[in-house]
Amino acid sequence: MRKVAFLLLLFFSVDIYPRTSDTIVSDTLSQETDEWADLRKQALRDPFADTDEFAINFANYTVEEWSYPLPGGKVISPFGGRRKHHAGTDIKTVRNDTLRAAFSGLVTLSGPHYGYGYCVVLRHANGIETLYSHNSKNLVKVGQWVDAGAAVALEGSTGRATTHHLHFETRVAGRAFNSDQIFDHENHTLRKFVVVFAKKKGGALQISSRDRLPSEIPPVDSVKTVAPVPLLPIRTPGILQNK
DSSP 180: G
Residue 202: pLDDT over 70:
yes
CATH of the domain at 222: 2.70.70.10
Segment among 67-71, 170-174, 195-199, 209-213 with least mean pLDDT: 209-213
91's enclosing H/E stretch is strand 89-92
Residue 108: pLDDT over 60:
yes
Provide the domain count of the chain.
1
Closest CA to 174 of 101, 76, 108: 108
Helix (H, G, I), strand (E, B) or coil at 210: strand
User: Where in the sequence is the domain holding 101, given as residue range(s)?
Assistant: 53-226
pLDDT in tens, 65-106: 999 999 999 999 998 876 667 889 999 999 999 999 999 999
Residue 223: pLDDT over 80:
no
Residue 102: inside a domain? yes
Can you give the pLDDT at residue 82?
67
Residue 114: inside a domain? yes
Closest CA to 169 of 65, 92, 96, 69: 69
> pTM for the full model?
0.72
Residue 26: inside a domain? no
Residue 22: pLDDT over 50:
no
